[in-house]
A and B are shown apart, each in its own frame.
Chain A
Amino acid sequence: MIKVDNIRKRFGEEEILKGITTTFDKGKTNLIIGQSGSGKTVLLKCLIGLFQPEEGLIYFEDKILQEMNEEEHRVLREDLGMLFQGGALFDSMTIEENVMFPLRMFTTQKKSEMLERVNEVLKRVNLENVNKKYPAEISGGMQKRVSIARAIVNNPKYLFCDEPNSGLDPKTAIVIDNLIQEITHEYNITTIVVTHDMNSVMEIGEKIVFLKNGTLVWQGTNEEIFKTDNEDVTSFVYSSDLFKKIRDIQIKEQ
């Protein structure tokens, strides 16, 4: 479980996060949604320690991120898995080396044991026979899956995903979404996904946090989001023609 308590973050004069308080549940896929510029990625980067919030506290279970010493930070980072928007695979390394990287850095396993684990997670993300290829030699969807494999190879407690579907076709996007949800349940981890893709909201949003201009304006489940009266949320949800048509059909049927 991750809890954020009154997080504020500024860049210069501009306040990007204006006192956000919420909880991200363990064993669930938690989604942070909102329009571009709403502060989703900034919140995510505060959670993973890439940005330091000016105010507020972040709790990982019962420990406060800002009060951790260097050793506690190191231990926490070993428990974090991150899927970046572009995959962020190391392009000078093969797929196998990329996935093996966290094991090489943080474990004392033998190479054969590491290879076994790498093959296991690559199989889990439905990728085989790509071990010796370089990231540039595989498709965007495959890169995302390799990135997921790298994120889970060291059995993390927390998985963070920044726009996992960006740049993917709808079918591949669903595959990635389902994979994230399956892994979340299988490993019982706290997963936080930043997205503005409504398909993801429908597919995997077990808890949804909606941000607008750096403020949390709504939170709930993927069933509740279609029933809410909150105008900010409804204007976001029904901004696409497809969802508008679905809503119209539902209204007619009623």
Chain B
Amino acid sequence: MKYLKDIGSYFLMLKRVFSSFTKSAVLKKLIFKEIDDLIIGSMPIVAFISFFVGGVIAIQTALNIDNPLIPEYLVGFATRQSIILEFAPTFISIIMAGKVGSFITSSIGSMRVTEQIDALEVMGINSLNYLVFPKIVALLLYPFVIAVAMFLGILGGWVAGVYGGFSTSAAFIQGLQEDFIPFHIIYAFIKTFVFAFILATVPSWQGYFMKGGALEVGKASTTSFVWTSVLIILANYIVTQLLLS
């Protein structure tokens, strides 16, 4: 029963997010601030993780190939497939659920605890539109983060494969081009948009409707990470089933 109530309140929140819009000049500023906080602020950690995980995928693949009949370009092929299909869109989104999701929940939760949301409401401002809408718009740029993660993941795989002596550069690049299906990129970006919406709205819901004090803000951040991750994994399964099966 509680879950049904929560789902209902989530959709009612979404309805309010897209109504009674804040003044456009104010919204513009908020959107740029959110892009800075959520997108640009996430780039260093995404770049670092993508590069090294790409390297690890290449090494793991190479080390598990001991059959001489398997072509050398498989290292590049496996790296590309792993990164484009799952690592960049899904794995990075789980990391973002921790980084961006917790940030959103704790910042909105702190505003709830310190009555800043009440202050907005008393002034006649639709606090959900003011707080959540700019985050949704900012996260429309999330596919850019994932594109960077894809590029750096593959680059990391190439560096580890070639300089680690696991593959030649030509074979790795051949693997990247082998059996390339452009729809896989479209599939990855469709997933990314779905995950971006989850990343913007689920942590916002957790923060906005939290009750209590500073301790509860911490608890809400943890719960937010758990639920955002669960929904990303579920959405990943559903989108994959719909688009690839």
Contacts and interface: CB of A to CB of B under 8 A. Distances in A.
B138 to A, nearest CB: 15
Considering residues A73, A88, A92, which has the most beta carbons from chain B within 10 angstroms of its beta carbon?
A88
Interface stretch (B53-61, B114-122, B193-201, B216-224): B114-122
Interface residues of B, number: 17
Contacts of B123: 77, 80, 82, 101-102, 105-106
A74 interface: yes
A84 interface: yes
Contacts of A101: 123
A59 interface: no
B212 interface: no
A10 B71 CA distance: 73
Contacts of B124: 73-74, 77-78, 106
B205 to A, nearest CB: 20
A77 B121 CA distance: 9
Contacts of B5: none
Considering residues B25, B111, B114, B124, which has the most beta carbons from chain A within 10 angstroms of its beta carbon?
B124
Given A104-B23, A104-B26, A90 B116 contact: yes
B119 A50 contact: no
A88 B119 contact: yes
Nearest to B118: A50
A82 B23 contact: no
A105 B119 contact: no
B115 A49 contact: no
Interface string B227-244: 000000000000000000
B122 A105 contact: no
B27 to A, nearest CB: 11
B23 A50 contact: no
B26 A84 contact: no
Considering residues B23, B25, B33, B116, which has the most beta carbons from chain A within 10 angstroms of its beta carbon?
B116
Considering residues B25, B116, B119, which has the most beta carbons from chain A within 10 angstroms of its beta carbon?
B119
Contacts of A82: 119, 122-123
A48 interface: yes
Q: Mostly helix, strand, loop or mixed at chain B's interface?
A: helix
A85 B115 CA distance: 8
B78 interface: no
A86 interface: yes
A88 B125 contact: no
A88 B118 contact: yes
A90 B114 CA distance: 9
A205 to B, nearest CB: 23
Contacts of A92: 33
Interface in B108-145: 110-111, 114-116, 118-119, 121-125
Interface string B24-56: 011000000100000000000000000000000
A82 B116 CA distance: 11
5 tightest Cβ-Cβ pairs between the two chains A and B? A77-B124, A88-B115, A88-B119, A84-B115, A82-B122
Interface of B: 22-23, 25-26, 33, 110-111, 114-116, 118-119, 121-125
Given A77-B122, A82-B119, A101-B123, 16 more contacts: A48-B122, A49-B121, A50-B121, A73-B124, A82-B123, A88-B115, A88-B118, A88-B119, A89-B116, A90-B119, A92-B33, A104-B25, A105-B22, A105-B123, A105-B125, A106-B124
30 contacts: A48-B122, A49-B122, A50-B122, A77-B124, A78-B124, A80-B122, A82-B119, A84-B115, A84-B118, A86-B114, A86-B115, A88-B114, A88-B115, A88-B116, A88-B118, A89-B116, A90-B111, A90-B116, A90-B119, A91-B114, A91-B116, A101-B123, A102-B123, A104-B25, A104-B26, A105-B26, A105-B123, A105-B125, A106-B123, A160-B122
Interface of A: 48-50, 73-74, 77-78, 80, 82, 84-86, 88-92, 101-102, 104-106, 160
